């Protein structure tokens, strides 16, 4: 009998947290007929062959396919449609529905750590993860500016004064992810204070160069592990509806 299949699609994902997380979950729940695999795709079009797998019930989606996967799906949840990014797919009766559980994971993170001073934010990056962060901040009435390589406000011209005015910083780029752990986006760290909350969505390594630099200025720092666990739990809930 074929196992009920789940997995992760992305590029260069051998380091992934998801496989270990879900295999441990299957073990705890004694689900011997469940399997979780990594699908390292070079091109998103390869997903069509994967969708033909008869026992496939759900997929997680990571960089660089969170936006590119959308044309291959049948339906989108509200938050996936509004963010334009999908990181979780449920497959039922051959209907492939895209969700954004990053939204759920980031909202849990921000509600846990923010205080009343964190009324405006700087979002670093503008990819799929940043779209989820933008959505959550909007839903919670937190103003934000987005800094990316191509935006008007970019890494070259982000001023110390702007950082002083925004006490919440969310690092959404993959810069500094294992194995390139010494890499760090350009940022005026000297403007950070003890009032700042700095969230780096990277979880591997647990302490990025960005977080180390922020912590040296006394800022409160949070990595992406809790968000990752929360979005994984939300995915599991969706797959089992």
| Active-site annotation holds for 53 | no
Q: Which of 19, 66, 96, 220 is catalytic?
A: 66
Residues 217 and 42 sit within 8 Å (Cβ to Cβ): no
Residues 60 and 33 sit within 8 Å (Cβ to Cβ): no
- SS3 label, residue 132: helix
Query: What does the DSSP assignment read for 192-228?
Result: --TT-EEEE---SSSS-HHHHHHHHTT-EEE-SHHHH
Residues 200 and 171 sit within 8 Å (Cβ to Cβ): yes
Residues 144 and 137 sit within 8 Å (Cβ to Cβ): yes
Q: Which residue has the tokens 């070259």?
A: 156
Residues 120 and 142 sit within 8 Å (Cβ to Cβ): yes
Nearest CA to 196 among 151, 164, 233, 157? 164
Tokens of 195: 């009032």
Nearest CA to 216 among 198, 236, 241, 203? 198
Residues taking part in catalysis: 66
């Amino acid at each position: 009998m074929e196992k009920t299949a789940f997995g992760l699609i992305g590029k260069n994902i051998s380091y992934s947290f998801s496989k270990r997380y879900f295999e441990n979950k299957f073990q705890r729940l004694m689900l011997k007929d469940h399997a979780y695999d990594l699908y390292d795709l070079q091109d998103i079009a390869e997903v069509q062959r994967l969708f033909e797998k008869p026992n496939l019930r759900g997929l997680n989606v990571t960089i660089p396919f969170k936006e590119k996967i959308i044309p291959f799906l049948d339906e989108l949840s509200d938050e996936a449609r509004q963010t334009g990014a999908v990181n979780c797919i449920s497959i039922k009766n051959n209907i492939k529905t895209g969700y954004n559980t990053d939204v759920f994971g980031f909202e849990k993170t921000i509600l846990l750590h923010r205080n009343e001073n964190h009324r405006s934010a700087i979002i670093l990056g503008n990819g799929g993860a940043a779209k989820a962060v933008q959505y959550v901040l909007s839903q919670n009435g937190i103003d934000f500016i987005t800094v990316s390589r191509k935006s008007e406000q970019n890494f070259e011209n982000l001023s110390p004064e702007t950082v002083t005015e925004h006490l919440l910083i969310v690092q959404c780029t993959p810069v500094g992810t294992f194995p390139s752990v010494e890499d760090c986006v350009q940022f005026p760290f000297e403007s950070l204070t003890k009032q700042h909350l700095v969230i780096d969505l990277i979880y591997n390594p647990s302490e990025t160069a960005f977080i180390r630099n922020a912590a040296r200025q006394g800022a409160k720092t949070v990595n992406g592990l809790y968000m990752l666990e929360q979005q994984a739990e939300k995915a599991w809930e969706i797959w089992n509806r």
